[in-house]
Structure 1
Amino acid sequence: MANLIRSEWFKLKRSRVFWLMLGVLLVSAVAYCVLNYMDDPNDGGALNAVSGMDMFVAGMGGNFYIIKIGVCILAGFFISSEYSTGTMKRAVTSGNTRSQVILAKTSVYLAGSVLTALLFPLASLAAGSLLFGIGTLEGVSSVAEYIVRCLGLTITVAAAHAAIAALIGTLFNDSGKTIGFGVIFFFFIDGVFALVGNYVPIVKTVYEYSVFSQIIHYTEPALSSRNVLLTALIPLATSAALLVLCVLAFRKKEIK
C-alpha cells in the first residue's frame, strides 16, 4: 500500500495539469493583490482592499469556485484519464487488490485537491500582507485564530468535495465527462436542493447539514463553536462515506 501511495504521489508531482492549476492560482492571487495595491479609490478605483486580511477574505471567497472546479479538473485528469491510457488496468493486474489501488489513488488525489484549495487564500494573504500589512478584520478578535480556523475548515471542505469528484471520476472512463458532469453537479446541486426543499422540508434540513451548505458559510467570522465543529465533522464523515463508495464502485467496475 505504501508503495502504491508513493507511486501515485510521484505521478501527481509529474502531472502538468496539477502544476498548471497551481501556477494559475498563484499568479492570479498575486495579480489581484497588486491590482488592489495600485488601485486608487480616490481616483475612481473600484477596489477597496486595505490589508492582508482583506485579501485573505477575498481569497477565501474565491475558493468557493476554485474548490468546485478544481476538484473536477483534477479528478478528470488524475483518475478518469488512467482508464483510457490503460494505467488502471495495469495497476489492478500488478498483484495489488482493487481496494488498495483505488484507496491509494484517491488518497493522493484528495491531498492534491487540498493543496490546490489552500494555495489561493494563502498566496492572497502573503502577497496582501507584504503590500498592505496584515491588518485586522471587523468582528474577529484574533486574526491568527481566524486564519487557522479558515484554513483547517478549508482542508475538510475541500476533501469532502474532492471525495465526491473522486466517485464521479471512478464511475466515468473519460476525463471530459468527469469534468463536465462534476462541474454541472456542483453548480446545480444547491438549486436542486432549494427547489425540492420548498416542497419537502426534510430535504431542506438535509441540505443545511451537507457539505454543499457548509462551503457557503464556513468562512463567516461570527461562526459559533458548534458550527465550527459541524463544519469539521460533516465533511470528514462525507469524505469517509464517499471513499467507501469509491472502493465499492471500483471493485465492480469493468476495466478494459
Structure 2
Amino acid sequence: MKKILVVGATGSIGQHVVAEALKQGYQVRALVRNPNKARFDDRVEIFIGDLTRAETLKGITDGVDGIIFTQGNYADPEHVDYQGVRTIINLLNGRRTKLVLMSTIYSILAVNDQRFDNGCAWKRRTERLVRASKQPYTIVRPSWFDCNKADEQRLFITQGRTDYTLSANDGGVSRRQLAETLVQALTIPEAEHKTIELFAEKGEYTTDFYGLFATAIADIPKANFDGINDSDSRPVISEPQYVIQDLQKISEHN
C-alpha cells in the first residue's frame, strides 16, 4: 500500500491521521472543502471537493490503495457522513481498496437523546454501507476524544458494548492514539473485517497494534450488515427506503 486518501483531513482527527500517515511513509491525498484550512506538509496532495456535492469528487479515488474516513458532522450527518461515504464507495467501482471508517461508540444504541440520536443513526447506516461494499475494512468506534488521563495510554477494544452513560465517563482515548490506530488498521491483517470500540486505560503507551487487533473478533456477513456483536437496535426494515436500496445496490454491485 503506497497512497491513501484521508477524508475529513482538516478535522481534529484528520490532521493527526495525515501526520501519522506521512510518518509511516505513505503518500497522502487529503480531501479539503476549504483550501484555506489546508495547512499541511508540502508532501500532501490536496484534493478540493465537497462531500455533499458528488460532482466535485470525481477522480478522488484514482490511484489510492486505502481510504481513511474521519469526517463527522452532527449538523448534517446524512449528507456529510453517509452520502459522502456512499459516493466515494461508488467511485471505487468495485476496485479493491482498504476502507478504514471512524464511527462512534454510540452508533449501536437506540437512544432518544437529541445530542446523539440523529448523528449516531447515520453513523450506523454509514457503517453498514462499508460492510455491504465487500471491500476490506476496519471500523473503529472511538470513545470520547482526549478524555483519558495522562497515565491512561494503554488501548483496549470492546465489541458491541451498550452500557454507556452518554457522557465522558464512558471512557476516553487521545486523538493522537486514535489516529495512529486508524493508520495502523490499513495494513495489519488482524484488523481485517473487524468492528471495534476503542478506549484507553491506565498503562503504558500501546505500540503493539497486531496484538491489539488480535483481541477482536471478525465480523460475519449478516443480512442487516451489522458488526459481529451489534444489537439489532436499528432494524434495517425500519430504515429510510433509500438507505435500504443503497445497501442492496452496493452489495449487488461489489
Normalised by the length of structure 2, the TM-score is: 0.28
Higher relative contact order (CA 8 A, sep 6+): 1
Structure with greater helix share of residues: 1
Structure (1 or 2) with the larger CA radius of gyration: 1
Structure with greater strand share of residues: 2
